[in-house]
Structure 1
């Protein structure tokens, strides 16, 4: 079966459906002049097992081969009727109209081989139940209901309202009880951490340097982290998509003004890293200082669909990795040093900055302030979303695996064993994970020690219990059943956790409280 052109061998549905590249993938490829085959063939080479996934309901079906979605259809809708009419089997009276029947396993002209068959009964509509062990009695409230955003232009030149899209909420850990919020457009605001806060102050405006997310919605100002000794040195770090250099992400250091700690010096920028990005999507962008004082940078695989450059398993590329650097040192002409205990510093051909790899699009990373564990939520492609507790040198599988299952036609070949996710959920539950924090505050006792996370597409929110000794999740609790598209979570100096949403009115920062 070469290039997926034999429909019987690559799982096409009798030529009604082909695994054709979706429009969004074509758009990202056209932007950067990269071309991949229009038809997917996810079947693996001889000697490798293939996984066929079927989700069947009364009037619809989904088929995936090795984790790659081949097609979805609904019986009797306009698209289905048109395809049936064009088929060479259209003259058969029951073709495309059959109701109940049998699922047959066959390999045309060859002996059928299978290792296992798993069956799971679903509701009549084919939906997958929310994987929860109960519900926490919590409700949402505006964290700062009277807050006005300094310098915010609510209308564009066209007259349309420009929504506020906060990407980061954090604190400086300097005893001042301030909150810092970075927006995707490039503004960093500061204000007092008080329910009664009425206005922000513009800490730093980077809008002229930052590529506008309205043009490429996964780019912009995506990361903000304060140096552990910022009280003495005034340093903080940002991760942004460059306006001047297309498809380049920049990690830079800035410094707070000596005269006013609520204003940063825009002329103080020192570029720490420039990270070329093959595509406008899967740029990652989450940054955080670990308990070891090093800066961790969460990256995506560089973009596109199916990891076209095979970056996820390539240790010779920064893409698809978490980087770990020493921003207090310099080496080889760079404004950072590589920690000597990074896991791949002695491996030939590997980028020494890599701490862990095998990720598709990390959204987002965060340290548990009590245990020091690094949590990383990774957005999947066609079937699974995943939560990871990251270890040094870990290989998290992409793009030979998605979550705990094989993906695509190239198996994982690394000598590093693949680390299974701490938790994963099906794309019938949600399609774009938003990672949060392990709650260590005091205001909401029922959240204590649980990892908060959400799904941007389905709007569901959960709290996950994890046993670090057994390295496994023990319970998953529902908080919100849907309709809440969370962009990111944030954490203040007291360990209280907030969630951030897009808002045309600027009402973007919320928190959970006991009912």
Structure 2
């Protein structure tokens, strides 16, 4: 197996403001959206992309009010986009009046009858005071969210607040998300679709859902409703993006860093032709005071070391924890557990200490342990030297985080996810009473009574009633990787997103990064967030 040094050029929109933190300006595309193919259907000033259904003009009942396209007066009528769309992604924020009813239709054809005769409709409703048995985000009479605790998932915010709907129509599959929560997926024209249509009121409409392309329609159902940040991205005929979100190229080429490197004890295929599980190197690090040697951690539980030379041929086993570590291939569809982090002590050359983060083979719990290099062999660790520093129960087999790093201050930083499943079902992300969903900061050199570590006195929540004093920052979903910038000392974090957004965060002491009331710059579900420590 080879390790390749790759330069992954990504376009990342990072809002890192030292003194001013603000939301994006509504109805404007970001640079990232522009170069990745998104188009604005509404600029907050005019409704030039729309006209009324079966008309060439826009009725005065639709008005632009406070930067929102608003159904404000009677007889406004359904409006449609002037352009037709086949495969696309649609992003729209809506605000509905109390008791209100509206909808968003797609693949609408103009002909005799109403727009809903041809176009499937994503419901826009006031769930609390509405008269419809269906709820906002449901595909009218066809699809509803999956159930949790016996009831369909509900992520809509109350009437008078902004909600976000994401709709994808693609030959690869269609999807609807409400406030970042996936409600359902479907495939136009498959057996399930045809069966549901046949059992609905739309069975009488011969052209319902058959067009294959058409207009986007905003429905007038007699109630006030407003829309903003209305954006669409066309997809190619095969459902892929029409172009990559890249605005430049670099004259850089990836090359094998260690082309001859072999891993001690690992054989991709044995003598009988059986293919081994992937090695899955999850960490490649070095000791600050031993720059000539690299350490690599395989998710299966083995830590290797080798010389930091391009012609190196052998990676030797430093420590084999495979008998103590949860095997990632035993978790069904989840493959996020195992040996997830290793960090060498800042004084490694003097004390021979290093730390690991892994899921225990018995019960999934996260274990942070200290190990010691063998006194007889500097290239081997003593497997019996394990000192458990910290243990954290894990409710599920995903979103365990697991990265660990020593900071410039000499303290150990530990990244923990929200504990798993979907939608942060236990609401751990912004709960300061649990270690989950946080980045911890502990002192491994000065333990206090009853613990194998100490709490830095300047940790931000040491004096907060009910808070875990180890927490350095919180509101995180699944902090898969963290790293300190050697030049600036900034702590960077890759927080794995759910359906729509991925985050790269600069972690600051005491900050709330919003999960699970927010994801990125967007509200998530209908949660209100931490009352005392608002999101960053």
Shorter-chain TM-score range = 0.7 to 0.9
Q: Distance in 2 between matches of 1:37 and 1:173?
A: 53
1:397 aligned residue (514, 519, 531): 514
Q: Distance in 2 between matches of 1:396 and 1:282?
A: 16
Asked whether the equivalents of residues 369 and 389 of structure 2 are also in contact (C-alpha less than 8 Å), the reply is yes
Q: Distance in 2 between matches of 1:5 and 1:357?
A: 39
Matches within 5 A, 1:264-275: 264-275=381-392
Pair 1:308 & 2:422 matched: no
Please state how far the C-alpha of 1:48 moved relative to its aligned partner: 3.2
Q: Distance in 1 between matches of 2:228 and 2:407?
A: 43
Higher Rg of the two aligned structures: 2
What residue number does 1:119 align with?
A: 231
Asked whether the equivalents of residues 285 and 297 of structure 1 are also in contact (C-alpha less than 8 Å), the reply is yes
Q: Distance in 2 between matches of 1:227 and 1:153?
A: 31
What residue number does 1:444 align with?
A: none
Matches within 5 A, 1:222-241: 222-241=340-359
1:338 aligned residue (455, 464, 471): 455
1:277 aligned residue (388, 394, 397): 394
Q: Distance in 2 between matches of 1:353 and 1:223?
A: 18
What residue number does 1:221 align with?
A: 339
Please state how far the C-alpha of 1:70 moved relative to its aligned partner: 2.0
* TM-score of the aligned structures, taking structure 1 as reference length: 0.73
Pair 1:208 & 2:323 matched: yes
What residue number does 1:483 align with?
A: none
Counterparts in 2 of 1:247 and 1:6: CA distance versus 1, 3 Å: farther
Q: Distance in 1 between matches of 2:390 and 2:470?
A: 11
Counterparts in 2 of 1:332 and 1:79: CA distance versus 1, 3 Å: farther
Please state how far the C-alpha of 1:5 moved relative to its aligned partner: 12
Q: Distance in 2 between matches of 1:185 and 1:102?
A: 51
The answer for unaligned runs of 5 or more in structure 1 is 22-34, 420-515
The answer for unaligned runs of 5 or more in structure 2 is 1-126
Pair 1:70 & 2:183 matched: yes
What residue number does 1:251 align with?
A: 368
Deviations 1:75-98 (A, max 9, x none): 334443343234342232112213
2:257 aligned residue (133, 138, 143): 143
Deviations 1:193-251 (A, max 9, x none): 1111111211111111111111122110000001101111111000011013x121100
Matches within 5 A, 1:27-426: 36-37=149-150, 39-56=152-169, 61-106=174-219, 111-114=223-226, 116-125=228-237, 127-128=240-241, 129-154=243-268, 159-175=274-290, 177-216=292-331, 217-244=335-362, 246-419=363-536
What SS class does the counterpart of residue 120 from structure 1 fall into?
A: strand
| Alignment length (residue pairs) | 403
What residue number does 2:6 align with?
A: none
Q: Distance in 1 between matches of 2:150 and 2:245?
A: 36
Asked whether the equivalents of residues 59 and 75 of structure 1 are also in contact (C-alpha less than 8 Å), the reply is no
Q: Distance in 2 between matches of 1:5 and 1:186?
A: 56
User: Is 377-386 or 112-121 further displaced after alignment?
Assistant: 112-121
What SS class does the counterpart of residue 90 from structure 1 fall into?
A: helix
What SS class does the counterpart of residue 270 from structure 1 fall into?
A: strand
Higher relative contact order (CA 8 A, sep 6+): 1
Please state how far the C-alpha of 1:50 moved relative to its aligned partner: 1.6
What SS class does the counterpart of residue 329 from structure 2 fall into?
A: coil
Q: Distance in 1 between matches of 2:528 and 2:483?
A: 29
What SS class does the counterpart of residue 404 from structure 2 fall into?
A: strand
